[in-house]
Chain A
Amino acid sequence: MARVKNGARRALVWLGAIVVGLYGLLAVGVLTGGASWTPSLALDLAGGRQIILTPTLAEGSDQEIDQADLEQAVEIIRRRIDASGVAEAEISTQGNNIVVALPGNPDAATVDLVRQSAQLEFRPVLVVGSPLPVTEASATPEPSASASADASATPEPSASATDDAAASSDAEATAEPTASATAEAAASSSASASPEATATDDATTSDTVSASDLSWVTDEVQAEYDALDCTAEENLSGVAPQDPDAAAVVCDQTGVAKYILGPQEMSGIDVATATSGPELSSQGTLTGRYEVRLELTDDGGSIFADITGRIKDLESPRNQFAMVLDGVVISAPSVSTTITGGQASITGSFTQESAQQLANQLKFGALPLTLTVQSEEQISATLGADQLEKGLIAGAIGLVLVVIYSLIQYRALGLVTVGSLAIAGTITYALIALLSWTIGYRLSLAGVAGLIVAIGVTADSFIVYFERVRDELREGRSLQAAIDHGWRRARRTILASDAINILAAVVLYVLAVGGVRGFAFTLGLTTLVDILVVFMFTHPILMLLAKTSFFGGGHQWSGLDPRQLGRDTVYKGRGKVVLGSKPTLAERKAAERAAAKEADAQETTPASTEGEENR
């Protein structure tokens, strides 16, 4: 008996520890600044715009869009959005779709940023430099000032008309601004500053001047280059397509360098595919480093041979060619030999991840990909707030109705339901707040509906349990035995039903798109919480309550009164049978004695006498 009690107590203590632990974790999150006490809300509750895009390939393309390409597209959109200054944008993939959620009411320009397709370009490097803007006096950056200098996310050539930075261009147009060209890791020491006239003739498509010629660096271009601050995030969006036939000023993707590049010489259509893997030495042994293998189409191979043949002997940094994806340089390797055959290998200080990333970027750039807008949704903040408020009211009404019904049906036992629901609610709230901190979960209206529906599911498992216990009481078991027996049977049923609910939730979550997922998520979560609460709260608390005279004695308001369950006679053991409605002879005598004892005795009710007996 004591063991049962201890087991029940232990379960309750553990449950308390779990609740405290969850809220403690959340408190840590709040204090460290990452989390919030309230769950973050999805777009349909907080207001904002949701755009669902599907990447589609140009017709006749035999390539396929894989997960890596999809992630690459997300990456590019994310960079553009971040650069445009929109905070808290959510970009995710669902199946083959990209879901972009922008808070508030973004302007048309921001929305257009999302759907433009990205382009891969190959351009020769003319000048490399420190990412900071060059000013006449010193290279001390003023991020705020330069940020405003060309605040627009579209670095148009005319950006050089800006005030302070433009002044520096007069100083010396041709000189390389800083010595930080060494910042380029790959800068190999090809000392031979050979004349640039070599192999210029047929290298470029329409130009008479070589793409590597420094004459592309006009005063305008230089001024733009000087003004550019690649440490400012808004300059990394680079979405505006640069003129392919002119020099371009672009940043490195991480913002550690900026470049002046010659006109475009190759584009994504010239690339067949790209892979990454461990680098092999000429003997075929592993060098322990990683490389990116670029495979070009036939056309691309011959152009590439021309480019590499031309720039291999130029002085650094002009012996580099830059791969520009979506307006930022993703890699700018230097060339020391002419690469023919359309197979190029890029080596350097790659890790496995960075090699993989570059290969993915190149492969993505090779896809003739366009993004089709599937659905666009603008929810006003007032509508969202309204829906949240009404949803919560609906939840409250539902909860109150369930509480009232279970109190009517189960009397005091209904309070156990109420307590269990309260515990389940507390745990679910903490979990959702934690999940919105850790995995960025956002509560949507469908999710709220899932939570409200879950009230019913959770209460159902209590009803299954209570009815089971009542059935056992009807069979004539004592309350202790009825709980033991009923629990063993109800447990199976509850677990089976919950397993089916979880199955439904998982299938819906994995397969479905859009709002269905939010619903499936909360349904699955609350089902798990339900199991936890039934095992660690409802059952232990019922075991403890069974020890009290109120429940154990089957008080008529306890909801476990054997007489109300049609059990007028209860076998008490030792050949004794209690007629529930009438006290036994011993009880009557005891009652008489008690009555006599008290000076002005009041008649004790049979129910309370029996309660004593059962203790």
Chain B
Amino acid sequence: MKLNLAQWGNSLHSGEKVYPIVPQRKRWFAVSAVLIAASIALLLIKGLNPGIDFSGGTEFRVTDAPNPDTAIAQEVVDAAGVEGTARITVLGENDVRVQIGVVESETARELTTELADAYEVDAEAVSFTQIGPTWGAEVGKKAVQGLVIFLILVTVVMSLYFRAWRMAAAALIALAHDLIITVGVYALVGFEVTPASVIGFLTILGYSLYDTVVVFDKVRENTANLTSQHRYTYDELANLALNQTLVRSINTSVVALLPVSAILFIGAFVLGAGTLQDIALALFVGMAVGTYSSIFVATPAEVALRDSETKIKEHTQKVLAMRESGSSDVTIAADGSVRVGAVDKGAHQGSSAQPRRKNRKA
């Protein structure tokens, strides 16, 4: 497995094996566009499933109940005469969760003791959360506010770092892509959105950019001396960069996803719904989408944007004209694709690269 991945990495690096992701960008844009459209449609039609933190309400949680039967809780809630329907679920192995609307603080306290009695557990083992409706709205508002400010700051930082607004724009396109699709997945599956999920969504931002920065760094490195050569076009060099960083993207994504899936596993199967599961779920979906977008959306989008630049346009025309006339020495494969090799000239690698004489003190 390892050897294969490394050899695959080698051939990707040398340009021996190239996945035509940038040349076929229209296809990937179409895929992404469909996904985004579907996500937005789902959001509008089905909507998200807000947890009580956003909608307001009261949640009780009985831990380690010897007999986690939802009927018991139903009886207690009915007896207390609480308005509206109670949502009662069993979490993990023996935890019971009861969700009802907003009640008086006194009622909540009474219900806590009654639930403890009914489930024959200590009153200490019953947790409850009461969220006022305005609080939830505030949490949501703050999250959106944070998102907007973060996006503005990131645009500034990326523009400064890459010194090219098109790269920053492409990174933001990928970012928006990740967020919309992640939220779309939430709408599709109907996962509950809690403040913890919002934490997850916001962290995706950092992650998505992390991957994109790695790829863009390589693109910039490959195309640094673009105009001083006329063998390859910008598109081809960007595609090479993308392929060269493919192994790295996969490795970083896998390593990032491993701890997240560990939390998700524990959160979902052992602990039951809660902060851990909500964060991990959002991160898992977001990171998976983020990996996809850093490969199939970010760089293609960046190339699409750069191609409208006159400098790049002229350069591309010149390269293609040279190929037409046969004065270019590039290898053209049967399917018309070009084998892209190293752009940088070789250089002296310093005296430290020289072999050392044996028995000489270093």
Is there an interface contact between B105 and A383, defined as CB atoms closer than 8 Å? no
Is there an interface contact between B354 and A2, defined as CB atoms closer than 8 Å? no
Contacts A401-B258, A565-B10 hold; do A497 and B209 have CB atoms under 8 A apart? Answer: yes
Q: Which residue of B lies closest to A505 (CB)?
A: B206
CA distance A457 to B260 in the complex (A): 11
Chain A residues with CB below 8 A from B13, complex form: 471, 474, 566
Is there an interface contact between B214 and A493, defined as CB atoms closer than 8 Å? yes
Query: Could you jot down 25 A-B contacts, CB within 8 Å?
Result: A372-B134, A376-B130, A377-B129, A380-B61, A380-B126, A382-B64, A383-B61, A383-B63, A387-B271, A390-B271, A405-B258, A449-B279, A449-B280, A455-B259, A456-B257, A456-B258, A464-B252, A481-B353, A493-B213, A500-B157, A503-B157, A507-B153, A512-B143, A513-B142, A516-B142
Is there an interface contact between A446 and B244, defined as CB atoms closer than 8 Å? no
CB distance from A34 to the nearest CB of B (A): 29
Contacts A381-B124, A390-B271 hold; do A511 and B149 have CB atoms under 8 A apart? Answer: yes
Chain B residues with CB below 8 A from A445, complex form: 274-276
A-B residue pair count with CB separations less than 8 angstroms: 281
Select the stretch in B1-9, B34-42, B229-237, B309-317 that faces chain A.
B1-9
Q: Beta-carbon contacts of A488-521 to B below 8 Å, as 1s and 0s?
A: 0100110011011101110110011111100110
CA distance A44 to B278 in the complex (A): 15
Whether, in the assembled complex, A151 has its beta carbon less than 8 Å from a beta carbon of chain B, the answer is: no
CB distance from A575 to the nearest CB of B (A): 11
Within 8 A of A (CB), among B42-83: 53, 61, 63-64
Is there an interface contact between A1 and B125, defined as CB atoms closer than 8 Å? no
Contacts A380-B125, A445-B275, A471-B13 hold; do A398 and B210 have CB atoms under 8 A apart? Answer: no
Whether, in the assembled complex, A452 has its beta carbon less than 8 Å from a beta carbon of chain B, the answer is: yes
Is there an interface contact between B14 and A489, defined as CB atoms closer than 8 Å? no
Whether, in the assembled complex, B199 has its beta carbon less than 8 Å from a beta carbon of chain A, the answer is: yes
Whether, in the assembled complex, A373 has its beta carbon less than 8 Å from a beta carbon of chain B, the answer is: yes
CB distance from A544 to the nearest CB of B (A): 13
Contacts A382-B124, A397-B266, A566-B14 hold; do A516 and B252 have CB atoms under 8 A apart? Answer: no
Within the complex, which residue of B3, B105, B129, B271 is in contact with A386, where a contact is CB–CB below 8 Å? B271
Whether, in the assembled complex, B262 has its beta carbon less than 8 Å from a beta carbon of chain A, the answer is: yes
Within the complex, which residue of A391, A452, A467, A505 is in contact with B251, where a contact is CB–CB below 8 Å? A467
Is there an interface contact between A511 and B142, defined as CB atoms closer than 8 Å? yes
Q: Count contacts on A: residues with CB < 8 A to the other chain.
A: 95
Contacts A397-B262, A402-B258, A453-B260 hold; do A373 and B195 have CB atoms under 8 A apart? Answer: no
Whether, in the assembled complex, B333 has its beta carbon less than 8 Å from a beta carbon of chain A, the answer is: no
In this complex, the member of A387, A394, A514 whose beta carbon has the largest number of chain B beta carbons within 10 angstroms is: A394
CB distance from A338 to the nearest CB of B (A): 47
Is there an interface contact between A519 and B123, defined as CB atoms closer than 8 Å? no
CA distance A501 to B138 in the complex (A): 24
Is there an interface contact between B217 and A489, defined as CB atoms closer than 8 Å? yes
CA distance A375 to B62 in the complex (A): 19
Is there an interface contact between A480 and B353, defined as CB atoms closer than 8 Å? yes
Which 8 pairs show the lowest CB-CB distances between chains A and B? A398-B259, A566-B10, A456-B256, A398-B262, A374-B135, A394-B266, A397-B262, A511-B146
In this complex, the member of B7, B14, B202, B283 whose beta carbon has the largest number of chain A beta carbons within 10 angstroms is: B202
In this complex, the member of B135, B261, B283 whose beta carbon has the largest number of chain A beta carbons within 10 angstroms is: B135
Label chain B's interface by main secondary structure.
Answer: helix
Is there an interface contact between A449 and B276, defined as CB atoms closer than 8 Å? yes
Chain B residues with CB below 8 A from A597, complex form: none
CA distance A364 to B215 in the complex (A): 55
CB distance from B100 to the nearest CB of A (A): 14
CB distance from B196 to the nearest CB of A (A): 6
Whether, in the assembled complex, B154 has its beta carbon less than 8 Å from a beta carbon of chain A, the answer is: yes
CB distance from A378 to the nearest CB of B (A): 5
Within 8 A of A (CB), among B100-133: 105-106, 108-109, 112, 123-132
8 new A-B contacts, CB < 8 A, other than A504-B202, A565-B10, are A375-B131, A378-B112, A378-B127, A380-B61, A449-B263, A478-B349, A508-B146, A511-B145
Within the complex, which residue of A382, A393, A512 is in contact with B63, where a contact is CB–CB below 8 Å? A382
CA distance A445 to B106 in the complex (A): 28
CA distance A351 to B59 in the complex (A): 49
CA distance A129 to B88 in the complex (A): 59
Whether, in the assembled complex, A459 has its beta carbon less than 8 Å from a beta carbon of chain B, the answer is: yes
Whether, in the assembled complex, B248 has its beta carbon less than 8 Å from a beta carbon of chain A, the answer is: yes
Whether, in the assembled complex, B165 has its beta carbon less than 8 Å from a beta carbon of chain A, the answer is: no
CA distance A384 to B349 in the complex (A): 58
Within the complex, which residue of A97, A373, A406, A452 is in contact with B255, where a contact is CB–CB below 8 Å? A406
CB distance from A54 to the nearest CB of B (A): 8
Whether, in the assembled complex, A460 has its beta carbon less than 8 Å from a beta carbon of chain B, the answer is: yes
Is there an interface contact between B198 and A105, defined as CB atoms closer than 8 Å? no
CB distance from A455 to the nearest CB of B (A): 5
Chain B residues with CB below 8 A from A398, complex form: 258-263
CA distance A393 to B109 in the complex (A): 32
Contacts A459-B255, A504-B202, A511-B142 hold; do A467 and B125 have CB atoms under 8 A apart? Answer: no
CA distance A574 to B351 in the complex (A): 11
Q: Which residue of A lies closest to B270 (CB)?
A: A390
Q: Which residue of B lies closest to A501 (CB)?
A: B206
Within the complex, which residue of B7, B131, B259, B353 is in contact with A456, where a contact is CB–CB below 8 Å? B259
Whether, in the assembled complex, B352 has its beta carbon less than 8 Å from a beta carbon of chain A, the answer is: yes
Chain B residues with CB below 8 A from A399, complex form: 259
Whether, in the assembled complex, B334 has its beta carbon less than 8 Å from a beta carbon of chain A, the answer is: no
Chain A residues with CB below 8 A from B221, complex form: 489
Whether, in the assembled complex, A409 has its beta carbon less than 8 Å from a beta carbon of chain B, the answer is: yes
Q: Which residue of B lies closest to A5 (CB)?
A: B362
Whether, in the assembled complex, A335 has its beta carbon less than 8 Å from a beta carbon of chain B, the answer is: no
CB distance from A508 to the nearest CB of B (A): 6
Is there an interface contact between A573 and B354, defined as CB atoms closer than 8 Å? yes
